[in-house]
A and B are shown apart, each in its own frame.
Chain A
């Protein structure tokens, strides 16, 4: 790297390990073939533009935003669940005040979205969207219902495993993460090209939430734990 670009590098963020992120082009997921760049990406030394980022959404939090079962007059149909976990950075430090947004299908596998044509019923008591902020320990908690699996058009008889979409802000614009949380034991994993697009098996497995008896509430709702890691800065030589 020449001197000029080194000068723009300040408190750089840690790069992600090989194989832990999906490639842009993954042919079994057909929609990637026309939406993935084929020319080489340009390696960007981190500047202020990369290591700063938005503090967004904090003023727009509603009381029921983290309880997707309480946003309508009645209760939604389906299996009530509690999804909780922590947001940490790659140095293991909790990320407080991080905005987490989620969206999902209802228990029948249908999204409340004009473009979802799956012939499964909508639930008048379920929108399927929520948001929350992590607390000082990076912890978050949602109450929702378990989403259903649903068919899609990627290939013949294609079904998505049940999942909840997660969108998370870390400290920097390059720590931004959008992912999907899955449920343990789903028989659709081997057939799902979106899940399978992640080369590293351990990384893939970390997208599967864990059933958790501790956070399960007796006579009320099962608990699932999903911890999230966003990119953090490189440690300085003085830190251990």
Chain B
């Protein structure tokens, strides 16, 4: 049977009453005993004018430190880190930002080798459907060989790089620019 997927509609300005209550937010996606190098990523969502988007929701999907996804369709399913969560959900605050606590993921090894990355879905009022982007880590040597980054025009790849915070070790910054000169690369999935 062939069915057309249901059309998306905006998440609107009031999603917080269900999707991002204190109970339903997931700000830390690595349990206390998850292996790997702990990392904090400060996301900031900005509109065409560079103004903070204070009513966005970010959802994160990430592999563990060994590059394994906690999902049956990952051939390594069942051997991923026992204390790994991998799914995050955060609402931006007044300054358009939110902070995710995670560990730095491993390379995804399946047919090809993908550099460590997070997948991010962005939702907000004024967005009729979610946008997908990826967060890579600036300076990681495996970025050079990543098959997905190689599809992105060289002059736009930088928008997909989390930058190390100059003051706080293990903190990274990632701006999601929805539109404009430095517009973040979004993917047609």
A: residues with CB less than 8 A from B are: 4-5, 7-8, 10-11, 13, 16-17, 20-24, 26, 29, 31-39, 41-57, 60, 88-92, 101-103, 111-113, 115-116, 127-131, 163, 165, 167, 171-180, 194-195, 197-198, 200, 202-204, 206-207, 228-231
Instruction: Report which of A39, A91, A171, A206 forms a contact with B7, defined as CB distance below 8 A.
Output: A206
* B166 in the interface (beta carbon within 8 A): no
Q: In the complex the two chains form, is B126's CB within 8 Å of A179's CB?
A: no
Q: In the complex the two chains form, is B17's CB within 8 Å of A22's CB?
A: no
* B142 in the interface (beta carbon within 8 A): no
Q: A21-B8, A60-B23 are in contact. Are A32 and B127 (CB under 8 A)?
A: yes
Query: What per-residue 1/0 map shows which CB atoms of B145-189 lie under 8 Å from chain A?
Result: 001101110001000000000000000000000110001111111
Q: A37-B179, A90-B5, A92-B3 are in contact. Are A131 and B124 (CB under 8 A)?
A: no
* B35 in the interface (beta carbon within 8 A): no
Q: In the complex the two chains form, is B119's CB within 8 Å of A179's CB?
A: no
Task: Give CA–CA (A23, B128) in the complex, Å.
Answer: 7
B: residues with CB less than 8 A from A are: 1-19, 21, 23-24, 26, 47-49, 51, 53, 55, 59, 61, 63, 69-71, 73-74, 86-87, 89, 108, 110-112, 114, 117, 119, 121, 123-132, 134, 147-148, 150-152, 156, 178-179, 183-189
Q: In the complex the two chains form, is A128's CB within 8 Å of B5's CB?
A: no
Known: A43-B188, A178-B129. 8 other contacts (CB 8 A): A7-B111, A34-B48, A35-B179, A36-B179, A44-B187, A48-B63, A49-B117, A113-B14
Instruction: Report which of B23, B53, B178 forms a contact with A37, defined as CB distance below 8 A.
Output: B178
Q: A20-B7, A194-B10 are in contact. Are A46 and B189 (CB under 8 A)?
A: yes
What are 23 A-to-B residue pairs whose CB atoms are below 8 Å? A10-B111, A21-B5, A21-B8, A22-B129, A24-B128, A24-B131, A35-B47, A35-B48, A42-B188, A43-B151, A47-B112, A49-B114, A52-B71, A54-B70, A54-B71, A55-B70, A103-B17, A163-B9, A165-B18, A167-B11, A179-B8, A180-B12, A228-B6
Most chain B CB within 10 A, of A49, A101, A179, is at A49
In the complex, which residues of chain B have a beta carbon less than 8 angstroms from the beta carbon of A230?
5-6
In the complex, which residues of chain B have a beta carbon less than 8 angstroms from the beta carbon of A17?
4
Name the distance in Å between B34's Cβ and chain A's nearest Cβ. 16
Q: In the complex the two chains form, is B17's CB within 8 Å of A174's CB?
A: no
Q: In the complex the two chains form, is B151's CB within 8 Å of A194's CB?
A: no
Q: In the complex the two chains form, is B71's CB within 8 Å of A55's CB?
A: yes
Q: In the complex the two chains form, is B114's CB within 8 Å of A180's CB?
A: no
Instruction: Report which of B3, B131, B156 forms a contact with A229, defined as CB distance below 8 A.
Output: B3
Task: Give CA–CA (A114, B37) in the complex, Å.
Answer: 38
In the complex, which residues of chain B have a beta carbon less than 8 angstroms from the beta carbon of A60?
23-24
